Amino acid sequence: MKDLLKNLNEVPCVQGSMVITDDGIMVAAVLGPELDEDTVAALSSSMVMTMRRSLRPFCGEIPDEILLTADRGKLIFLSLGVAYLVVVTKKHLKLESDLVEIRSIARKIRHRCEMSV
């Protein structure tokens, strides 16, 4: 799985990526040197659990994708079925092209997750 995360991190503007379970346990992470793994994992875990709890009354389950935008960058959550792909990007992410590539790699990670269950 780390090989796919490394490929994902080669997408322009991607600073790092990780896979966490729906209960917030980190499965794998490949983050750039400017990102602290424990901090990103704690934030991602908290966000996933909060989103699942908060959005359930409106959506039934967490949406397939959630994009959070801040001054310095974006945080993308993509459902993998049994886990979530979390992608940290710079603020200049090109949604038209870069997100297509991120989704493609997410599908490969999802397939790998399904094969290991």
Q: Which amino acid is at 49?
A: M
All structural domains of the chain with their residue ranges = 2-116
67's CB contacts (< 8 A; 6+ apart) are 74, 75, 76, 77
Return the CATH class of domain 2-116: alpha beta
Compute, in degrees rounded to 10, the torsion defined by CA atoms 37, 14, 59, 22: -30
The secondary structure of the chain in percent helix, strand, coil, rounded to multiples of 5, reads: 40, 30, 30
pTM: 0.89
Helix (H, G, I), strand (E, B) or coil at 63: coil
| 58-92 tens-digit pLDDT | 776 667 888 899 999 999 999 898 889 999 999 88
| 9-66 tens-digit pLDDT | 999 899 999 999 877 788 999 998 889 988 998 988 888 888 878 877 777 666 788 8
